[in-house]
C-alpha cells in the first residue's frame, strides 16, 4: 500500500466516523452544536444594524428586512468579508448615527422613535451624497473600500434582502422556469428552429 492509498483510506474512515456521529445524534434527536461565526460587531452595534435594516426595508404587506434575515447577513459580511478598512468605515458610521441622536435628542439611536431614527438615517444619506462609484465598474470588480457608510449599509441591506428566500419569493415575482414549453409545436407555424 502506498502513501496515497493510506491517506485516502484514513480520510474515508474519518469521514465515516463524522457522518455516523451526525446520524446518531440526529436519530437521538440531539441538536448538533455549531459555534456561531465570530462577529466583529458589538451587541449594541448588531441591534443598531437590525433597526437600520428594518428602516430601509420595513415590513408592509410583504416581509421586511428582519423577516428576511438581513441583519445576520450584514453582520456576516462585515465580520467575515469586509477588509479592515471597510469594517472601520462601517463601525464609524454606526457610531456617528448614535452621536447624531445623542446631540439632537439626548439619547442613543436605539432608544429614539422611528421618526427620529429616520431623520438620523437621512442625515447619514445626505453626508454620502457626494460619493460616486467609479464608472464602468462591473459586479466582479473589486469593491471600492472607500465608499461611505450609508452606501455600504444600503447596498448590504438590499443585497441581503433580495438574495434571501423571503425577498426573492415573496417580494419579487418568482418564476422558477420562465417561458412556456410547448412540446408539440408544428414546425410549419414557426418556420425555423430556436437556438440558445
The predicted pLDDT at position 7 comes to 43
Q: Show pLDDT as tens, one digit a residue, over the chain (196 residues).
A: 555 454 445 445 544 443 444 334 333 443 333 345 688 999 999 999 999 999 999 999 989 999 999 999 999 999 999 999 999 999 999 999 999 999 999 999 999 999 999 999 999 999 888 887 665 666 566 668 888 999 999 999 999 999 999 888 888 876 666 677 767 777 777 666 554 5
Of residues 69, 78, 68, the one with CA closest to residue 45: 78
List for the chain the helix, strand, coil content (%; round to 5).
60, 0, 40
DSSP 57: S
The predicted pLDDT at position 28 comes to 41
Residues 177, 183, 189, CA angle at the centre, nearest 5°?
Answer: 115
State the cell numbers at 167: 425577498
Q: Domain limits of the chain?
A: 43-55+66-130+144-167
- The alpha carbon of residue 20 and the mean position of all alpha carbons in its chain are separated, in whole angstroms, by 33
State the cell numbers at 91: 463601525
Look up the pTM and report it: 0.68
Dist. CA 134–CA 143, nearest whole Å:
10
3-state secondary structure 22-41: HHHHHHHCCCCCCCCCCCCC
Amino acid at each position: 500500500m502506498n502513501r496515497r492509498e493510506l491517506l485516502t483510506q484514513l480520510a474515508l474512515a474519518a469521514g465515516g466516523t463524522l457522518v455516523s456521529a451526525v446520524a446518531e445524534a440526529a436519530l437521538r434527536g440531539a441538536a448538533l452544536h455549531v459555534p456561531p461565526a465570530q462577529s466583529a460587531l458589538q451587541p449594541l452595534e448588531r441591534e443598531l444594524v437590525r433597526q437600520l435594516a428594518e428602516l430601509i426595508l420595513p415590513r408592509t404587506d410583504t416581509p421586511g428586512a428582519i423577516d428576511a434575515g438581513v441583519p445576520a447577513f450584514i453582520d456576516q459580511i462585515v465580520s467575515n468579508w469586509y477588509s479592515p478598512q471597510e469594517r472601520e468605515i462601517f463601525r464609524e458610521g454606526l457610531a456617528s448615527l448614535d452621536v447624531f441622536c445623542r446631540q439632537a435628542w439626548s439619547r442613543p439611536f436605539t432608544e429614539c422613535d422611528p421618526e427620529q431614527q429616520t431623520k438620523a438615517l437621512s442625515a447619514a444619506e445626505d453626508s454620502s451624497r457626494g460619493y460616486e462609484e467609479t464608472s464602468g465598474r462591473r459586479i466582479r470588480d473589486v469593491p471600492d473600500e472607500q465608499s461611505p457608510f450609508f452606501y455600504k449599509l444600503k447596498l448590504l441591506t438590499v443585497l441581503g434582502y433580495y438574495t434571501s428566500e423571503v425577498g426573492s419569493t415573496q417580494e419579487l415575482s418568482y418564476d422558477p422556469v420562465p417561458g412556456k414549453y410547448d412540446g408539440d409545436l408544428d414546425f410549419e407555424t414557426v418556420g425555423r428552429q430556436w437556438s440558445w
